[in-house]
Structure formats: C-alpha cells, structure tokens
Chains A and B, each alone.
Chain A
C-alpha cells in the first residue's frame, strides 16, 4: 500500500459543479494534511491545510479530514475552468521521518 494514495483521474466536472477529490493515507499518527494545486509546467502551490477532524472552508475550497478512516478530501465548489490542474494531497508520514509525502495527484478538468 502506498503511503498516500489518490485517484489519478482525470476528474471531469462541468463548470459550476462541485469537484470532489479524495486521498487516503497509511500512517494512523499523521497530524498534518495539505492540499496543493499544480498547473502544468509550474510548481505546486498550497491551497489548504488541515490538522483536525472535520471540515475547513476557505473560499470555494473545503477540506475534510477523518483520521479514524484515514482519509482527507477536498471539495471545490462552483468549479471554474481555471481550477483545471493537478491536485496533490500531502501528509506528514512518521514512518518516513515526518517528511511530507505526496500522493500521485488527481488531474481535474473543468469543462465550460
């Protein structure tokens, strides 16, 4: 089992719809969880961080964390074509020396 897993996609959503991205992780004691967005040919940029169970909202983005089930998700409301990118889930994995470990990313395509 990979330490951080994501569906590679592509996840195709119509403009204005909600994009739902999921991420599962293997380390039960992980405490820090992050979502990054990466446009093609660019470096990742941080869009959300979450540390406690529940939901965290920031603009059109909502991160959801469930430590008991070891998953973290990202919702993008009112999806726009500019949201088309690869979204990377990142988790501090203790077994990896507390390094930030990235999932393979989910490619999102928002169609006008």
Chain B
C-alpha cells in the first residue's frame, strides 16, 4: 500500500526559531501533497497544497511567508514553520495519494510541534 513518511514525529523549539518538517512518499510519486494542522480536540484543517515544481497553494488565513513549503521532487515536500511562536504549537500532518483516479489520501504519522 501507499506509504507516507513524515519526520520528525515530535519537536520542541524555542520561540523565534524555525522548524522544518519533511514528508516523503515512499513507494509512489506524488505531484501533489497536502499539509494539515490539527489543534487539540479539533478537526483537521487544510493549510496548503504542495505542488511539485511550482508554488504551493495556501488556504485562506494561512500565512505563506510563515509556513514555507517546498516540493522539489516527486517524493518529498517540506514545511518550514518560520519564527515559530507558542500559538504555532500544533499537530502537523502531511498527506499524499498516488496519481490514480479516486485514490485516497494517505497520511504521514504527523509531527507534534511544541514552541516554548
């Protein structure tokens, strides 16, 4: 089955620093990957769509200069949280699907970010 790997699983950083999260599709190519954020006891919120070889598409209200997305290859997308603040503490999850019609999304294991 399609496997999506996300790293790191957990990170604690100080306020003002930047954190990079990697998302890899291990056994398929993904021209598109999706980044979600989930606060405790809330539903998944799509942050942005990562497009291989072009700019990411951000959802309304998501700051593109704060959440930098790079999708340099068909198997890797990265999300960098720049100048992190405590309110950025959340569970960040990436997802991707094989390029087959109606194929479901497969999720990485998520990254728990804590900004102190």
The interface of chain A, by Cβ under 8 A from chain B, is 31-32, 34, 36, 41-46, 49, 51, 88, 90, 92, 99-100, 102-105
CB distance from B71 to the nearest CB of A (A): 16
Q: Which residue of A lies closest to B92 (CB)?
A: A43
CB distance from B104 to the nearest CB of A (A): 5
Which of B49, B91, B104, B110 counts the most chain A CB atoms within 10 A?
Answer: B104
Q: Say yes or no: B108 contacts A43, CB within 8 Å.
A: yes
Q: Say yes or no: A31 contacts B109, CB within 8 Å.
A: no
Count of CB-CB pairs between chains A and B under 8 Å: 43
Expressed in whole angstroms, the Cα–Cα distance for A104 and B6 within the complex equals 23
A99-B46, A102-B43, A102-B44 known; A42-B106 Cβ under 8 A? no
Expressed in whole angstroms, the Cα–Cα distance for A44 and B44 within the complex equals 9
Q: Say yes or no: A42 contacts B44, CB within 8 Å.
A: no
Expressed in whole angstroms, the Cα–Cα distance for A81 and B107 within the complex equals 24
Q: Say yes or no: A49 contacts B109, CB within 8 Å.
A: no
Expressed in whole angstroms, the Cα–Cα distance for A102 and B108 within the complex equals 16
Q: Say yes or no: A46 contacts B46, CB within 8 Å.
A: no
B43 touches which of A32, A46, A92, A105 (Cβ 8 Å): A105
B107: chain A residues within 8 A (beta carbon): 36, 43-45
A99: chain B residues within 8 A (beta carbon): 34, 46, 49
A42: chain B residues within 8 A (beta carbon): 109-110
Question: Any chain A CB within 8 A of the CB of B54?
Answer: no
Question: Any chain A CB within 8 A of the CB of B93?
Answer: yes
Q: Which residue of A lies closest to B57 (CB)?
A: A97
